[in-house]
Amino acid sequence: MSFFFFSGSHDAKLDQKNRFVLPQNLRYGLVENGALEFTIGLGIGGCLAIYKKSDIEKIAQKFLENVHAAKYQKFFTLFFSTLHHTSCDKIGRLILPRRLKEAVGIQEEIVLAGVLNKIEIWPKEKYEAQLTGLIEGTDKDLNLAQLTEEAFALLKEKDEPCTCSEK
């Protein structure tokens, strides 16, 4: 079996019942042990995230090690109370829970972004604004050249020289 990761982006629209079609190539990546089951929750930076069932189980197991740490209680409450375990219907539609939709400001149009081990669901306007700001260099918090260099530096082994341009 080859290594699978989510990538690419897809536009979608919510219908009157807050449903959208999850593209087949993204659904394929969520199937585990012959079942299409996954979890939708809050993501980072103003999006939602779809996690594979096995990934959310690993996250929960790790968080259980710190379940009584006071500094994480608000995060645990918000993160786990907004997780929704779900699946798609026969034609690939899934329902976006109202609370999650409102939390990130989704209206009707969304962008589904494959991001390694998860699928992010962005309000279309927010996704496009961030993409444009990153590419054009107008987002003061995002510098494409610097972020690319730092991300590729993560790939080097500890004792291996970096082949990217280091300063």
Q: Which contacts of 101-107 are long-range, i.e. CB under 8 A and separated by 24 or more positions? A: 101/14, 101/18, 103/42, 103/48, 104/42, 104/43, 104/46, 104/47, 104/48, 105/46, 106/14, 106/48
**Given this model, what pLDDT does residue 144 score?**
78
Domains belonging to the chain, first-starting first, are 9-124 (3.40.1550.20), 137-167 (no CATH)
Does 167 score more than 50 pLDDT?
no
Question: How far is 160 from 18, CA to CA, in rounded Å?
Answer: 49
Question: How far is 84 from 76, CA to CA, in rounded Å?
Answer: 14
Kindly state the average pLDDT of the residues 24-52. Answer: 95
Handedness of CA 76, 110, 108, 30 (dihedral sign): negative
DSSP type of residue 41: E
- Give the rounded percent of residues in the chain with a pLDDT score beyond 90: 69
Does 61 score more than 50 pLDDT?
yes
Which tokens hold the place of 93?
A: 């539609």
- Higher per-residue confidence, 107 vs 160: 107
- Give the rounded percent of residues in the chain with a pLDDT score beyond 70: 93
Does 43 score more than 60 pLDDT?
yes
Kindly state the average pLDDT of the residues 42-62. Answer: 95
How far the first Cα of the chain sits from its last, in Å, is 39
**Given this model, what pLDDT does residue 37 score?**
96
Cβ–Cβ under 8 Å, residues 166 and 153: yes
- Higher per-residue confidence, 166 vs 67: 67
pTM across the whole model: 0.86
64-82 confidence digits (pLDDT tens): 988 888 888 999 999 999 9
Q: Map residue 109 onto helix, strand or coil.
A: strand
